[in-house]
């Protein structure tokens, strides 16, 4: 058996190093070597740190997912599904309105004996202000029908398309009947105005600045009273007591720094109006004159109210030019404190 001889200095160095490292414990009469545990502890700590890191990452991921779900909650997105009951109510109401208007027109515009179908330019009696009426009416029917279709559960895009088709179908029906009436005719100018008015809401959706440009209508208070007490002119064709407006909100040209800071009241718009006097398809329009107005206008769409109901209500109300200060600029200047 061989002896292992160690020098005293070497033994001292080994002992000192082991004590410092914690690898040797001294007991009387013996020297024991211990397995190194530091590396094992460090390895365990490293695993622990990794687990903690994974836990932290998981926590962050969980937080991120919950934040995303909160920001994009499917429950907050309105789901559109056709309601058969509402759609039936809408159909019955639409048929009733159509029938009522047909009876009215049959006793006014088309009350004379039916004639052969013909084409004609029939805006002479109103100096073509009827074209403004066609644009406004087709536009209003498109939007009004779209709102009704949305109420029945049809998605907004399809509702607007169906609204435009409804508007064009109704206006074309009117124009065809005019073509058979002795005093009227099928007017391609009217058809063009109908098409433009019906598709204008699509242009507003495609070009956002056009949302600040709207067609409006107003009437003088005496209009209803005069037409309900006299049968000289029909109610819907009395342009002498109506004004058609093109309303423009200056927000269309203002930078966002102005609109967001609310330096300008965003509900205040400017409007150009068109009316006529001394015009009648019954008594003649030899002295008829077109009147032009410049007026303030109230952009109802910019007023408070963000609920779905309020948004739809404001779309409908915004077709009317509410009384506002105005100036008649032609054929003579007249100042109105409030013009209806």
Domain regions of the chain by residue span: 1-34, 46-74, 80-194, 207-340
Look at residue 286 and tell me whether its pLDDT is greater than 80: no
In the predicted model, what is the mean pLDDT of the chain?
A: 79
Ramachandran bin of 22, using left for φ above 0, alpha for ψ from -120 to 50, beta for the remaining angles: left
pLDDT digits (tens, 9 = 90+) for 298-312: 999 999 998 999 999
Give whole-number Cα distances, 157 to 82, 150, 205, 267, in Å. 14, 9, 10, 26
How far is the C-alpha of 325 from the C-alpha of 302, rounded, in Å? 19
Q: What share of the chain is helix, strand, coil (3-state, %, to 5)?
A: 55, 15, 30
Q: Edge-to-edge strands of the sheet including 289-298?
A: 213-219, 242-248, 268-277, 289-298, 324-330, 334-339
Kindly report which listed range (73-87, 225-239, 313-327) carries the lowest average pLDDT score: 225-239
pLDDT digits (tens, 9 = 90+) for 131-154: 999 999 999 999 999 999 999 999
Q: Two tokens at 96?
A: 């009733």
Q: In Å, how far from its chain's centre is CA 83?
A: 22
Predicted TM-score of the model (pTM): 0.74
235/39: higher pLDDT: 235
Burial of 56 (0-12, 13-18, 19+ CB in 10 A): exposed
């Amino acid at each position: 058996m061989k002896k292992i001889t160690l020098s005293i200095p070497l033994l001292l160095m080994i002992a000192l190093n082991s004590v410092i490292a914690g690898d040797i414990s001294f007991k009387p009469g013996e020297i024991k070597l211990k397995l190194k545990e530091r590396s094992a502890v460090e390895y365990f700590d490293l695993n622990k740190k990794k687990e903690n890191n994974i836990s932290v990452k998981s926590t962050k991921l969980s937080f991120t997912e919950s934040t995303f779900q909160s920001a994009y909650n499917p429950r907050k997105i309105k789901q559109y599904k056709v309601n058969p009951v509402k759609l039936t109510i809408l159909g019955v109401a639409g048929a009733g309105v159509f029938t009522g208007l047909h009876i009215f027109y049959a006793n006014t515009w088309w009350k004379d004996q039916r004639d052969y179908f013909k084409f004609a330019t029939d805006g002479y009696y109103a100096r073509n202000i009827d074209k403004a009426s066609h644009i406004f009416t087709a536009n209003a029917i498109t939007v009004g029908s779209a709102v009704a279709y949305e109420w029945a559960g049809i998605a907004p895009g399809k509702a607007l398309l169906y609204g435009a088709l409804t508007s064009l179908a109704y206006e074309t029906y009117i124009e065809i009947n005019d073509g058979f009436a002795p005093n009227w005719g099928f007017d391609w100018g009217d058809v063009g105005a109908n098409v433009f008015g019906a598709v204008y809401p699509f242009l507003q959706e495609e070009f956002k600045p056009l949302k600040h440009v709207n067609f409006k209508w107003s009437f003088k208070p005496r209009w209803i009273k005069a037409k309900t007490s006299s049968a000289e002119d029909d109610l819907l064709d009395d342009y002498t007591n109506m004004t058609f407006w093109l309303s423009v909100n200056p927000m269309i040209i203002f930078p966002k720094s102005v609109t967001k800071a609310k330096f300008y009241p965003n509900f205040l718009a400017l409007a150009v109006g068109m009316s006529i006097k001394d015009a009648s398809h019954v008594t003649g329009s030899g002295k008829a004159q077109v009147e032009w107005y410049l007026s303030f206008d109230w952009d109802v769409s910019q007023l408070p109210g963000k609920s779905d109901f309020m948004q739809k209500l404001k779309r409908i109300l915004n077709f009317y030019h509410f009384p506002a200060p105005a100036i008649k600029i032609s054929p003579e200047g007249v100042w109105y404190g409030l013009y209806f």
